[in-house]
Amino acid sequence: MTVTGMLSAIERIGRDPKSGGYYRPVMSTAELDLRTWFIGEAEARGLDVDTDRNGIIWAWWGAPRAGSVVTGSHLDSVPGGGAFDGPLGVAAALAAVDVLREREVQPARSLAIAVFPEEEGSRFGLACLGSRLLTGKITADHARALTDREGDTLADVFARGGIDPRRIGRDDEALGRIGRFIELHIEQGRGLIDLNEPIAIASSVLGHGRWRVRVTGQGNHAGTTLMRDRSDPVVAAAAMVGAVSALTREVDDARATVGRFEPFPGGTNVIASAVDFWLDARHLDDATTRALVARIAAACEEIAAAHGCAVTVSEESWSPTVDFDAGVARELGAALPSAPLLGTGAGHDAGILSEFVPSGMLFTRNPSGISHSPEEHAEDADANHSAVALADALQGMLR
């Protein structure tokens, strides 16, 4: 089955019929359905499938052993996400196995397709949770205690999803089997369309972090509280969001976003008592990101004081800038000589793994560059070509 055929088979899973956006949080019904789909596709190809103690699914062509080549991506999505972010890399990996078999390739190394849980961090707030658990970049205790918007802990959610939370954590045996990790992903940003190329090789991943900003004030009645008597955290938080944009625009190539803004209790005729909003800040230079966030935090303090409110800023996720392994990039370049090298502003499991195993990424052309939106798109020809490009990249590594 082609990549587009596989993506069509799952296109209704977790899709909001009104907005067309996807919401597939880890261990939700949608994501569990996608896991079932992937396992079915992998088993139909005779791959040996195992879901490990961190909830990572491994589909093996050959015995799990040191020096294996691993490819794959994730199936979870951001709220209102597109159809390709994650699933394109998973479907292309399945189709690349088909291509390699059509070429009668006899791998000298084992090949595995890995599907990492909670790459987006949309449920528990921490990006690339699965690859962080695998590598020990997050402790098991810290992970178990993470909570979702309903206050459910990761431990409880994983247990309900069939993963024993007592067993999560660094997995040297699984990590030790990975000789190379190659992730194919839809391009997020406009590069390839302007270069008239279908595939790019990744050079770097922008460092990025997430901070929760909590503003507290005085909850009160909307009709009986004079304006001069208010300590309204929503008004303070709104000014802070303005400061985020203004301060970030002063720093070349920095990006900062507030996409999640939650007043409490959230009544139309209620002055909120608190507001939580989340800051996503990114820059190629980690010290620049840190300095920008420090300036934003100082501005938030000033604004809170001016509105009779209090504010706390707490870090929830940090991923330093990653420069991918030059040797892997060369191998990919040798297999795909017309593919340009492109950096990305989006984080990936390959970025986390690259600290531990030689890793690389391929990007598939996205004509508009839009991502984390239902408008995310890859043309059928490019989506299907992804499998051939990935097979070309893997074939040399499997020798």
- Residues that bind Mn ion in the complex, under the rule CB under 5 A: 85-86
Taking the complex as a whole, the smallest distance from the CB of residue 78 to ligand HGY amounts, in Å, to: 7
Per-residue DSSP letter, 322: E
The residues pairing with 220 across neighbouring beta strands, listed in sequence order, are 271
Regarding 187 and contact with ligand HGY (CB under 6 A), the answer is no
* Cα–Cα distance measured from residue 218 to residue 274, given in angstroms and rounded to the nearest whole number: 8
Burial 17-40 (b: 16+ CB within 10 A, else e): eeeebbbbbbbbebbbbbbebbbe
Regarding 87 and contact with ligand HGY (CB under 6 A), the answer is no
Contacts of 287 (CB under 8 A, 6+ apart): none
Taking the complex as a whole, the smallest distance from the CB of residue 75 to ligand HGY amounts, in Å, to: 13
Q: Which of 31, 41, 118, 120 binds ligand HGY (CB under 6 A)?
A: 120
Which residue carries 């970030």 as its tokens?
Answer: 248
Regarding 157 and contact with ligand HGY (CB under 6 A), the answer is no
Taking the complex as a whole, the smallest distance from the CB of residue 73 to Mn ion amounts, in Å, to: 6
Residue 267 main-chain phi, psi, to 5 deg:
-100, 145
Regarding 347 and contact with ligand HGY (CB under 6 A), the answer is yes
Whether the Cβ atoms of residue 257 and residue 247 lie closer than 8 Å to each other: no
Interacting stretch for ligand HGY, rule CB under 6 A, among 7-15, 104-112, 119-127, 262-270? 119-127
Regarding 198 and contact with ligand HGY (CB under 6 A), the answer is no
Pick 127 or 182: Cβ nearer ligand HGY: 127
Q: Which of 143, 241, 281, 346 binds ligand HGY (CB under 6 A)?
A: 346
Instruction: Give me the 201-240 binding string for ligand HGY, x by CB under 6 A, dash otherwise.
Output: -------x--------------------------------
Taking the complex as a whole, the smallest distance from the CB of residue 280 to ligand HGY amounts, in Å, to: 7
Q: State the CB neighbour count (10 A cutoff) for residue 370.
A: 15
Taking the complex as a whole, the smallest distance from the CB of residue 208 to ligand HGY amounts, in Å, to: 6
What sections of 147-261 are H helices per DSSP? 154-160, 172-177, 192-195, 233-249
Q: State the CB neighbour count (10 A cutoff) for residue 43.
A: 12
Burial of residue 356, with CB atoms counted within 10 A of its CB: 0-12 exposed, 13-18 middle, 19 or more buried: middle
Chosen from ligand HGY, Mn ion, none, partner binding at 347 (C-beta under 5 to 8 Å by type): ligand HGY
Instruction: Give me the 33-72 binding string for ligand HGY, x by CB under 6 A, dash otherwise.
Output: ----------------------------------------
326-335 and 380-397 are packed helices; what angle lies between their axes, rounded to 10 degrees?
120
Residues near ligand HGY (CB under 6 A) = 119-120, 127, 208, 346-347
